[in-house]
Structure 1
Amino acid sequence: MAAAPAAAALRPHLSLLSAGGGIPNPTLQTLSFVAPLLLRRRCRRCRRRSSVVLSNASSSPPSPPPSPEKEVEAAPTAESCVNLGLEFFSKGRVRDALEQFDNALELNPNPTEAQAAFYNKACCHAYREESKKAAECLRIALRDYNLKFGTVLNDPDMAPFRASPEFKELQEEALRGGEDIGSGFRRDLKLISEVQAPFRGVRRFFYVAFIAAAGISTFFTIPRLIFALQGGDGAPDFLETAGNAAINIGGIVVLVALFFWENKKEEEQITNISRNETLSRLPVRLSTNRITELVQLRDISRPVILAGSKASVTQAMQRAERYRTDLLKRGVLLIPVIFGASLKVQGKPKGFGTTRSAASAPSIGVRPLLHIY
């Protein structure tokens, strides 16, 4: 307010300056002092306004990321449908999750998205105890989209499916391999088998090489044997030629038998590996009522399964009680399995009632098969 009268008082001097009149030096000094003062006040007001705007912008919360449902409504893609289906599945909305996985398969997905859609669709069917539909989805994922069979063995959401006859049939198909289900699982098992028996491949190579050498030798020995039977001048000795032919033929028979024996041993080993992998995924109930998988006990102990009738298992546990201290020192964990023991089967709710909550939905509430006392 004090600067306004000062500026008004200087207007005549400014007009005289523009008209060419002379102005004393003190007036010019005052003008040079007042003008920067006005500019500074204006700049301060501008700075205050700009600081308020910046503070308001910085204090405003960032916009939340769009939810998967809004993304699907805006531009539905296979990836967004799969993510939304996974969100529904985690909340226990299995039917809505199935719809989203079906939508993802209709939106021209890439191989990775198609594999995820088929596998998660199988998880939904497994949760709803629809084992046949789950097996069909898994066959497609294994055959066409290179799904690892170990994923089916390791996933807790597949626990209901692993207890069904369809899983056993699917596992046998995966062991055989072929066009219907792919050869990925069998290839992985063969790698494990080669680690356990590293010289089997070398032995089979030498078997094939010796069979080929004996076959070539027999091919050249048979005409000599025929010529020895005919006799005549220059004919080879019959006994010597017959002995060479017998040695070659006997070597071929023995080597072929060894080759098939090695193949049989490999098949038995692959079957044992597959059975051990399946058993290692069985849930175990500890004495603290905690449920864990048998494979998770390998790092901390050496589990030993005692299977049989109730009387035999009880007797074995009583006899092992005297060695309790030694077993604990060696990290041996005894797991009794009673054949024919009654298990509580949860019935499906009928009529009006509460549905299963999200906490008891996927991955929770697996029925224990083994018990540790």
Structure 2
Amino acid sequence: MAVTATAASMALQQRLLFNTPKSKALHPHRRTHLSPQTPRTVSMVSSSPSPPSPSPDTKEDTAESCVNTGLSLFSKGRVKDALAQFENALTLNPNPVEAQAALYNKACCHAYRGEGKKAADSLRIALRDYNLKFTTILNDPDLASFRTLPEFKELQEEARLGGEDIGYGFRRDLKLISEVQAPFRGVRRFFYVAFTAAAGISTFFTVPRLIQAIKGGDGAPDIWETTGNAAINIGGIIVLVALFIWDNKKEEEQLAQITRDETLSRLPLRISTNRIIELVQLRETARPVILAGKKETVSAAIQKAERFRTDLVRRGVLLVPVIWGEKRTSVEKKGFGVPAKAAISLPNIGEDFEKRTQSITAKSRLKAEVQLKAEVVSPEEWERWIRDQQKSEGVEPGEDVYIILRLDGRVRRSGKGMPDWQQIVKELPPMDAFLSKLER
């Protein structure tokens, strides 16, 4: 005879250590999970008495169980109770993994409640003492609202001064992305170097012959032939070096554009339900149209867009107004130094960011929340990106411009002034059209 595990225990059995966080029904937050002990079956022998099974009510709390209980409460929207569980976990002698999870999820609760300072304090301890990766904070969409606060800027600067990767590690992969977009650049460079070397060697032997031809005398080579050979070699070297420099410049421009695209995808905005998200979360859900310029110009463009509201919403258009000259905040510079008791090889909680942004449930919910207009958060970051884009396109920074994005997040087209909404309605297919599916 065996004691069967309860349905609840079987459900808990499926959870893995630092499992991919799941979106919540009421509040779309994704958190880190710790795995409980696997339920076991106990053999019962009739000839000997069996000890009574421990009651779930008398089970002693552990740091691990408190973290998992907090996650369950958070999934039901009980943020205050979840926060109490994470705080309790920190008092129960947690190991480094459990402490990191409790601190990180505690910070997410504070961020949800708008308590930026408390969220920063929890994350600071996790970064300093438990080897939390800063890219986790940068990549988690649930911390988008926190990343708009001055406390995040302070934390980022402290991490940078302490030698941490403050979230720009994606730049290390830019060359790889560039090679994918221009796969024969390396081959071209090889031939540039090889042919330049060959021409240089030939010139090395041709120059003495040219000197001898100029001096003349018996046995001197033909001066015109020798001069022609020297000119070809020297001209080839000049052309090949110029091509090499041109290719390098093109690569730098390409890397700069990839960097701008990545930066754009991380810019935050506030949608109609007052929820703060990052632009990357709108991929396949909306076509953002960025309107940047003076307040009166942008306001007039939005008013004109209202006349085509129904058609624009059908096409997934989301207006993102950026007004020049928003107020900026300063950051106090200080570093938190070398980690004192960092855990070794702890999991990075948020590295599956791209997968989470592709969740069908999350996209359906987000699609219902997206209306015609959004509000930018951290306007100075938006303005900086737009000015960089203007420089790359040869437009004087500060001019009124619009930028239309595709469903996949890439720039569809841009222009000076404000867009012609009637033309945009004709140009963009409805969201349920076949062409829109191809654009995804």
- TM-score of Structure 1 vs Structure 2, range by shorter chain: 0.5 to 0.7
Q: Which has the higher contact order (CA 8 A, sep 6+)?
A: 2
Which residue of the partner structure matches residue 60 of structure 1?
A: 55
Alpha-carbon deviation of 1:121?
9.9
Which residue, out of 154, 157, 164, partners 1:129? Answer: 154
Counterpart amino acid of residue 202 in structure 2: S
Q: Does 1:249 align with 2:244?
A: no
| Matched-pair contact (CA < 8 Å) for 1:81–1:101 | no
Deviations 1:300-334 (A, max 9, x none): 23323121112322344456567667655654443
* Structure 2 gaps, min length 5: 1-44, 65-86, 111-117, 330-374, 383-440
Matched, 1:368 2:348: no
List alignment gaps of at least 5 residues for structure 1: 1-45, 105-113, 143-148, 153-170, 172-183, 345-365
Deviation at 1:252, TM superposition (A): 0.8
- The aligned residue for residue 303 of structure 1 is 288
Alignment of 1:1-373 (within 5 A): 54=50, 57-58=52-53, 60-61=55-56, 63-67=59-63, 77-86=95-104, 88-90=106-108, 92=110, 93=118, 95=121, 98-99=124-125, 102-104=128-130, 114=131, 116=132, 126-127=151-152, 129-137=154-162, 139-140=163-164, 142=165, 152=167, 185-317=170-302, 331-341=316-326, 368-369=377-378
Rg: which structure is higher?
1
Q: 1:189: how far off?
A: 0.8
Once residues 317 and 121 of structure 1 are traced to their aligned partners in structure 2, the CA distance between those partners, rounded to angstroms, is 34
User: 1:319 & 1:96 partners in 2: Cα distance?
Assistant: 46
User: How far apart, in 1, do the equivalents of 2:133 and 2:207 lie?
Assistant: 63
Q: Give the structure with the larger helix fraction.
A: 1
Residue 184 of structure 2 aligns with an amino acid whose one-letter code is F
Kindly provide the CA deviation profile for residues 4-38 of structure 1, in whole angstroms up to 9, marking residues without a partner as x.
Answer: xxxxxxxxxxxxxxxxxxxxxxxxxxxxxxxxxxx
Q: Distance in 1 between matches of 2:328 and 2:155?
A: 21
Separation in structure 1 between the aligned mates of residue 309 and residue 135 of structure 2, nearest angstrom: 45
The 10-residue stretch of structure 1 (195-204 or 316-325) with the greater mean CA deviation from structure 2: 316-325
Distance 2:299 2:92 in 1: 63
Structure 1 residues 283 and 213, CA, compared in 2 at 3 Å: closer, same or farther? same
Q: Which amino acid aligns with 1:212?
A: A
User: What are the superposed Cα offsets for residues 104-142 of structure 1, whole Å, 9 maximum, x if unpaired?
Assistant: 4xxxxxxxxx3x2777899999448344313224x33x3
Alpha-carbon distance in 2 for matches of 1:85, 1:325? 45
Structure 1 188/311 Cα, relative in aligned 2: closer, same or farther at 3 Å?
same
Q: Which residue of 2 aligns with 1:19?
A: none
Asked if the contact 1:283–1:293 (Cα under 8 Å) also holds between the matched residues in 2, the reply is yes
SS of the residue corresponding to residue 232 of structure 1 reads coil
Aligned residues of 2:192 and 2:241 also touching (Cα < 8 A):
yes
Whichever residue aligns with residue 214 of structure 1, its letter is: A
- Letter aligned with residue 52 of structure 2: A
C-alpha change, 1:317 and 1:66, in structure 2 (3 Å) is: closer
Asked if 2 retains the 8 angstrom alpha-carbon contact of 1:228 and 1:238, the reply is: yes
Compared CA separation, residues 198 and 117, structure 1 to 2 (3 A): closer
Query: How many angstroms apart in 1 are the aligned matches of 2:296 and 2:91?
Result: 62
Q: Deviations over 1:238-286 (max 9, x none)?
A: 1111111111111111111111111111112211211221122111223
Q: Secondary structure at the match of 1:239?
A: helix
Taking a change above 3 Å as real, the CA distance of residues 129 and 303 of structure 1, as seen in their structure-2 partners, is same
Q: Could you tell me how far 1:225 is from its partner in structure 2?
A: 0.8
Q: CA deviation at 1:82?
A: 2.8
Amino acid at match of 1:340: G
Letter in 2 for 1:334: L
After TM superposition, the score normalised by the length of structure 1 is 0.54
Equivalent pair of 1:193/1:269 in contact (CA under 8 Å):
yes
Going from structure 1 to structure 2, the CA distance change for 1:234 and 1:320 (only over 3 Å counts) comes to farther
* Shift in Å, 1:295: 1.2
Partner-residue secondary structure (3-state), 2:212: helix
Distance (Å, rounded) in 2 between the aligned partners of 1:119 and 1:317: 36
Kept after mapping to 1: 8 A contact 2:213/2:220 = yes
Taking only the aligned residue pairs, the percentage that are identical comes to 53
Contact kept? 2:171, 2:259, Cα under 8 Å = no
Root-mean-square deviation (CA), in Å? 4.3
1:89 CA displacement: 3.1
